[in-house]
Amino acid sequence: GKVKAQTVAQRIQTLGKNVNDLASMTVDGICESFGLPVSVANELVSQLANPVWISEEIGERLVLPGDNNFPNELFLNASPPMPVALWLEGDVSLMRSTLPRLGIAGSRNTSEEILNLTHRLAGLAVKKNWVIVSGLAIGVDSAAHQGAIDHGGATVGVLASGILKMG
């Protein structure tokens, strides 16, 4: 069945662990410690084995429910349940800041008109001190981030499938 990330978050907090602890763990250790199925643990180990994550920044890029930078409040009573992990780029502390956040998501393959509209919307939002949160795919996601950047605003990219599956 599906993993309930809320249960994983509770387990992580109970054990006093965080994402940095995962980097040195085996699949069996992750399964046992966090109550994850083998398939999810394998995916985490696979992602963490990539050299891009072998750095001191790992705790700032991969966040789990219960970690300081995981936006737990965004997923309360969410359907479907919150993800088991989020891969983030940018100033990840913005995910937990008191600034309002605007999530923008859309098609990878869309018209120039929609891309321009998205760019303008993000620009208007950041002028009102909103943080733009979006995926890192081409298309609408990219237009949202670019609109925020072009207008001097803050933006956070969320990678639900990990950095190795961007696109």
Q: How far is CA 22 from CA 13, 35, 115, 138, 143, in A?
A: 14, 13, 38, 30, 33
Query: Whose structure tokens read 């609408």?
Result: 140
Helix (H, G, I), strand (E, B) or coil at 63: strand
Q: Could you tell me the pTM of the whole model?
A: 0.61
Confidence of residue 150 (pLDDT cuts 50, 70, 90): very high
pLDDT band of residue 149 (cuts 50, 70, 90) is very high
Average pLDDT over residues 57-79: 65
Identify the pLDDT of residue 167. Answer: 47
pLDDT reported for residue 56: 47
Cα separation, 12 vs 65, in Å, equals 8
Return the residue matching tokens 């970690």. Answer: 67
- Give 39-55 pLDDT, tens digit per residue: 877 877 776 665 444 44
Summarised one tens digit per residue, pLDDT across range 96-135 is 778 888 999 999 899 999 999 999 999 999 999 999 989 8
Task: Indicate the DSSP class of residue 23.
Answer: T
